[in-house]
Structure 1
Amino acid sequence: MCGIIGVTADPEVYGNVVPRLVEGLKLLEYRGYDSAGFALVECGTGRLVVLKDKGRIDDIVEKYRVTGYCAATGIAHTRWATHGAPSRVNAHPHMDCSGRIAVVHNGIIKNFAELRAMLEERGHRFQSETDTEVIAHLFEEYLRQGLEPLDAFRRLVSVVEGAYAIALIHLGEPSRIYFARNVSPLIIGLGNGFNAVSSDIPSLLPLTRRVLALRDGEYGFIEPYKVYIEYRGRPVAWSERVTHVAWSVEAASKGGYPHYMLKEIMEQPRVLYETYMGLLSSDEVQRAASLIASAGRVFITGAGTSYHAGLVFAYYMATVAGTPVYAFIASEHETYANLFDSDTVLIAVSQSGETIDTLQALRAARKRGSKIIAVSNVVASTIPRESDVAIYTRAGPEIGVAATKTFLTQVLALTLLSLEVARLRGAVSESMYSESVKRLADSGRKAGEGLERSSRQVERLVGLLKEVKSMYILGRGLGVPLALEAALKVKEVSYIHAEAYPAGESKHGPIALVEEGFPVIFIGADDGDMRDRLQSNVMEMKARGAYTVVVGSNAYSGMKGVDMYIGLGAFDELTAPYAVIPPLQLLAYKLAVALGRDPDKPRNLAKTVTVE
């Protein structure tokens, strides 16, 4: 959830790293933060300068004139409060008693209270409420005891417990940045005359495309011309793990759109095509399907949007492959842990590949001998690395906090997986399988058509909905998980309460809230199979005074009791998500803008949740 960027460079070759730290930190804004800061080894004086505060990066940079400083080594951080309220004192970086050590950290140090008590007994004075400050004082303590810096850091890593990504600098080695990773992601960026460390790839793109994803338990240091990694006291050979990132710097920018969210909604026709072609040209789906076809039980898990993608997969597995799949929210994995065994496959869906709840579910299943399939957008992230098979979507970087293009690329990957399982189990013929796979080639085109056909109606609907405090979004069959995702998007970015549930459940309680003008959006996610049943649901809502909207295929035009129909063209259940979801994402986005919200940075939310 927090962000880290650190750069150390040869000043004769690379010059001042401060502008790169500022730029890199801004590219981590999407992870969510409440404060930010910089620690710089100042050129000329050799002083360790720390500049930090609560608030936005731009405001902090201006207030403290950050870009007026020169440094060849520095670390920077965006903080999402977990220990201690957002404040200047609690913002990172944190220092030791001497002011010669600075540290930034993502995650939670579970044993920080006992470590702090021990350090205070030995005379260390703390300035903040955070768990992170313990790291700086612990390093200082080990140096006081006479340990060499690497030995001190090695011991530090052996003592701290929890999920963490750490970057640390000290004046004894002004061109070195120490790092450590356990659970929280950390990546090395490799350059010529410099090296960098970051919590996520986008911040490294202005510097390099050669990256190395650290693994749990690894630690070490970077210098301008050296990368050194250890695991449990032994050096790690890492050169063969270096990967080339194909994303361009421009791909992580807004590309002329006012917000990342809108840019990413409009990118869906392209990224769906790229994901489709990428999956067809690899064996990821086939290998995953083989595991599922031979399994006794299949589970799928994720958090938020990824869970909704899992529900779509469970629907297709039931209706196309004739195979039950148990979908559960990752944070509830303990409920299902006793069902995991060696005859089980767990599919772990995570946009970032680092979602802590999903990672914990994966590890619980792995511990009991289950096979693991990952679906992720980030190559070499933790969840794919700890899986038997990884299916990668090709959505590119998604900067907006609310998931848009990653949802539909997940759905596309999982739909192809369900079709392959159906083929292996004989639930569909070879010809039906081939025809279905070919139809999915239209996923990107359906997304584009849906956006084009709905734009005017969405604008009109925004004018009506921006005044309301609550709404229902309903569906049947496949429409249920799509409604759940649409409602989540509305809540996330507009802050209007939106509730989704199966349309047939209205009479069992929710209809009690319906009164004159209450908005109810119905999703027709097929070629008309559910029309008659959805029609009766529309009428029961209309009879209570609801304002009714139907979003669906051509087959849903002309329904009685409908105040607004948003027609999205011809499609069936296989291609419905790609036509239906983008217009509803656009609705959520435009509602947010109309209400003066920032759709890229919704309040209280973060892009990647890496702490419990």
Structure 2
Amino acid sequence: MCGIVGVVGNPQTTSILINGLKKLEYRGYDSAGIYVTDEQGHDILKKRVGKIANLQQALDTNDQGLAGIGQTRWATHGKPTEANAHPHFSEDKRFYIVHNGVITNFNELKQKYLSDVHFASDTDTEVIVQLIAYFAQQDNSSTLTALQKTLSLLNGSYAFALMDRQEPDKLWVAKNKSPLLIGLGDHFNVVCSDAMAMLDQTHKYLEIHDGEIGVISKEQVQILTLDGQAVQRDPYTVAMDATDISKGTYDSYMSKEIDEQPAVLRRIAKEYYRDQQPVISPDLIAEMKQADRIYIVAAGTSYHAGLVGQELFEELANVPAEVKLASEFGHHLGKLSQRPFFIFLTQSGETADSRQVLVQTKALKYPSLTVTNVANSTLARESDYALLLHAGPEIAVASTKAYTAQIAVQAILAQALGQALNYQPKHPIDVLNQLGLAANAIQTVIDQKDKLEKLTEDYFDKHDRAFFIGRGNGYMVALEAALKLKEVSYIHAEGFAAGELKHGTIALIENQTPVVAFILEEATAAHTRGNVKEVVSRGAHTLTIAKKSLAQSDDTIVLDDLNELLMPLVAIIPGQLFAYFAAKHRGNDVDQPRNLAKSVTVE
């Protein structure tokens, strides 16, 4: 959530900032602003609530400079107002700052050091910039010294870019827990919270780690520890092309990313198989072989993918597994097994709740793996091992292809672990073959978009609530399908274990209440159909989604068969499309639903 951009040494600074902010819109925001200056002291500060287009309209041709910073804000402290939008500035208007994260002790700092300062906003961020100004004035300190003093006092998470009107040819940056990158240009340099923001300017980036400061000019980048020690670090190249983040002919990123899923599964198969066998780091497999339990830590959609993964590890490798919500687990680790292994599922690799767990498990010296879509992300870098999803950029806030990619990579890893343990599953799976079948089966569903759009009109367009039910993997898919629908259409949707309906939930069923049932496994198919009859008898408008070998003539959607453990790869696609069409029909912003952010970088 929130996005930061900065430029130093480029006469096109304003355009670069605006274009960079546009590329970060997917992260979720409610206001945006930029500060730009030149070397003669001419500067502008423009902030607007709402879309970046509002900010763009506020700029004129004279709003140019050689350096600047900008941010898209997702409100945490203070309402979405122009005063609370970033950049923020010190009372003497010498320093300007943009900040991602949350400062947990801002009130205490405000009372101790800044009781005489007039604040223009309700944000924790303004405390940072006012503190820097306070220390700069108090001792006539350099900007770097004032920054170091301020950082030593801050608790919480932050990534920020700072400018000083007295030194307009520099940027100062620092981070703790929140992502931030330095991009290396040709006689200029940039800063961003996501490389996608600056791919049209550079493909070379320097990581800045927690507890470090960057001092950036157009020709030089210095990275320092908090006590001023120089840090040497080689840049890395981001292979992604700027065209990878284009919508092309699609009306939304969500629609594009749904359609990309067959290609993603094929790409994963290509990356992780050689001569029909899974190729996973021997060191990773050796580490996992020692585990007596696998803990899968995730949030949101990744949590739902983890539920499927739990079944895969237990069935294909015979290793006990359990899935933990990162936001809960970080505060309640509980009694762990003797030899735990931790898998962190995260699309962005920056999920703050998951990182909180990783910090604790590392302190306990437990091994860890991050499965993510973003190379060089914080969780990928800080865990012992990392596996990439190879899904390509996912821009829409509502995750689709990352879900299927996470299931696929977990299946491959479970197969490799089972083979290393010489475990013979009762029902062996040829995962490579299944991924190919899944890609074809997904494409078959996607090719029925017209039918799915009409079903959306019938079941969801005139309703403000809906229920999804299933058993086993069908229940896991129901949870994800409900999440997708509520995320983008704002319909109150819930996923339930079908067998639990009669234990209370069935009280919610009224005449014409939409109920979607997933029938994906043989052992519980008859039971789930019984639950469907229960809600029908109470007036529900039911839609059944069944795998072909379990289908009946009156099922609404029939899916091509896969092994039951991998049926979620295909079964979720109707749910994704229902959500997309329901949001589109209601005129919602499909890619940027209200109140949500793509990368949740605060706990």
TM-score interval (norm. to shorter): over 0.9
Aligned-residue offset at 1:431? 12
Aligned residue for 2:252? Answer: 259
Are residues 1:608 and 2:602 paired? Answer: no
Identical amino acids, percent of aligned pairs: 37
Q: Distance in 2 between matches of 1:186 and 1:364?
A: 22
AA aligned to 2:535 is M
Aligned residue for 1:3? Answer: 3
Q: Distance in 2 between matches of 1:453 and 1:201?
A: 35
Aligned residue for 1:346? Answer: 342
Q: Distance in 2 between matches of 1:336 and 1:141?
A: 39
CA contact (8 A) 1:462 1:587 kept: no
Aligned residue for 2:365? Answer: 369
Aligned residue for 1:330? Answer: 326
Q: Distance in 1 between matches of 2:562 and 2:372?
A: 27
Q: 1:169-318 residue pairs with structure 2 within 5 A?
A: 169-240=163-234, 242-280=235-273, 284=280, 286-318=282-314
Aligned residue for 1:548? Answer: 542
AA aligned to 1:382 is T
AA aligned to 1:172 is Q
Aligned-residue offset at 1:165? 0.3
Q: Distance in 2 between matches of 1:289 and 1:542?
A: 48
Are residues 1:534 and 2:528 paired? Answer: yes
Return 5+ residue gaps in structure 1 as ranges. Answer: none
Q: Secondary structure at the match of 2:587?
A: coil
Question: What is the aligned counterpart of 1:394 among 390, 394, 419?
Answer: 390
Q: Distance in 2 between matches of 1:340 and 1:47?
A: 59
CA contact (8 A) 2:470 2:518 kept: yes
CA contact (8 A) 2:175 2:213 kept: yes
Are residues 1:130 and 2:123 paired? Answer: yes
Q: Secondary structure at the match of 1:71?
A: coil
Q: Distance in 1 between matches of 2:264 and 2:581?
A: 22
Aligned-residue offset at 1:595? 1.2
Q: Secondary structure at the match of 1:522?
A: strand
Q: Map Cα deviations across residues 73-118 of structure 1 (whole Å, 9 max, x no partner).
A: 0000111111121111111111112222111111111222222223
- Kindly tell me: are residues 442 and 225 of structure 1, through their superposed partners in 2, closer, same or farther at Cα, counting changes over 3 Å? farther
- Kindly tell me: are residues 37 and 284 of structure 1, through their superposed partners in 2, closer, same or farther at Cα, counting changes over 3 Å? farther
Q: Distance in 2 between matches of 1:293 and 1:149?
A: 51
Q: Distance in 2 between matches of 1:566 and 1:174?
A: 61
Aligned-residue offset at 1:221? 1.4
Q: Distance in 1 between matches of 2:337 and 2:426?
A: 32
Aligned residue for 2:480? Answer: 485
Aligned-residue offset at 1:244? 1.4
AA aligned to 2:260 is E
CA contact (8 A) 1:476 1:534 kept: yes
Aligned-residue offset at 1:531? 2.9
Aligned-residue offset at 1:286? 5.0
Q: Map Cα deviations across residues 237-286 of structure 1 (whole Å, 9 max, x no partner).
A: 4443x221122112112112111111111111112222222233695465
Aligned residue for 1:565? Answer: 556
Q: Distance in 2 between matches of 1:408 and 1:330?
A: 20
Q: Distance in 1 between matches of 2:50 and 2:331?
A: 39
- Kindly tell me: are residues 555 and 286 of structure 1, through their superposed partners in 2, closer, same or farther at Cα, counting changes over 3 Å? farther
Aligned-residue offset at 1:380? 1.1
Aligned residue for 1:46? Answer: 41
Q: Distance in 2 between matches of 1:450 and 1:289?
A: 35
Aligned-residue offset at 1:379? 0.9
- Kindly tell me: are residues 430 and 541 of structure 1, through their superposed partners in 2, closer, same or farther at Cα, counting changes over 3 Å? closer
AA aligned to 2:350 is E
Q: Distance in 2 between matches of 1:431 and 1:475?
A: 22
Are residues 1:28 and 2:24 paired? Answer: yes
AA aligned to 2:254 is M
CA contact (8 A) 1:286 1:417 kept: no
Q: Map Cα deviations across residues 350-406 of structure 1 (whole Å, 9 max, x no partner).
A: 111111111111222222222111111111111111211111111121111111111
Q: Distance in 2 between matches of 1:566 and 1:398?
A: 27
Q: Map Cα deviations across residues 316-372 of structure 1 (whole Å, 9 max, x no partner).
A: 223333332111111111565232466111111111111111111122222222211
AA aligned to 1:608 is S
Aligned residue for 1:161? Answer: 155
AA aligned to 1:584 is G
Q: Distance in 2 between matches of 1:49 and 1:101?
A: 13
Say which is worse superposed, 480-489 or 336-345, in terms of deviation.
336-345
Return 5+ residue gaps in structure 2 as ranges. Answer: none
Q: Secondary structure at the match of 1:275?
A: helix
CA contact (8 A) 2:35 2:68 kept: yes
Q: Distance in 2 between matches of 1:571 and 1:455?
A: 24
AA aligned to 1:178 is W
Q: Distance in 2 between matches of 1:449 and 1:185?
A: 38
CA contact (8 A) 1:553 1:568 kept: yes
- Kindly tell me: are residues 541 and 427 of structure 1, through their superposed partners in 2, closer, same or farther at Cα, counting changes over 3 Å? farther
CA contact (8 A) 1:453 1:568 kept: no
Question: What is the aligned counterpart of 1:79 among 73, 84, 95?
Answer: 73
Q: Distance in 2 between matches of 1:386 and 1:422?
A: 26
Q: Distance in 2 between matches of 1:165 and 1:294?
A: 37
Aligned-residue offset at 1:150? 2.1
AA aligned to 2:84 is N
Q: Distance in 1 between matches of 2:7 and 2:106?
A: 27
Question: Normalising to structure 2: TM-score of the pair?
Answer: 0.94
AA aligned to 2:20 is G
Q: Map Cα deviations across residues 491-527 of structure 1 (whole Å, 9 max, x no partner).
A: 101111111122222222212222332221111335x
Q: Secondary structure at the match of 1:174?
A: coil
Aligned residue for 2:51? Answer: 56
Aligned-residue offset at 1:204? 1.3
CA contact (8 A) 1:317 1:418 kept: yes
Q: Distance in 2 between matches of 1:580 and 1:536?
A: 20
Q: Distance in 1 between matches of 2:525 and 2:427?
A: 28
Question: Normalising to structure 1: TM-score of the pair?
Answer: 0.93
Q: Distance in 1 between matches of 2:570 and 2:283?
A: 29
Aligned-residue offset at 1:423? 1.9
- Kindly tell me: are residues 246 and 77 of structure 1, through their superposed partners in 2, closer, same or farther at Cα, counting changes over 3 Å? same
- Kindly tell me: are residues 341 and 552 of structure 1, through their superposed partners in 2, closer, same or farther at Cα, counting changes over 3 Å? closer
Q: Map Cα deviations across residues 49-90 of structure 1 (whole Å, 9 max, x no partner).
A: 21112221101210x225541111000011111112111111
AA aligned to 2:318 is G
CA contact (8 A) 2:452 2:577 kept: no
Aligned residue for 1:584? Answer: 575
AA aligned to 2:360 is A
CA contact (8 A) 2:254 2:580 kept: yes
AA aligned to 1:566 is I
Q: Distance in 1 between matches of 2:47 and 2:134?
A: 24
- Kindly tell me: are residues 520 and 288 of structure 1, through their superposed partners in 2, closer, same or farther at Cα, counting changes over 3 Å? farther
Aligned-residue offset at 1:155? 2.2
Q: Distance in 2 between matches of 1:140 and 1:303?
A: 38
Q: Distance in 1 between matches of 2:134 and 2:448?
A: 65
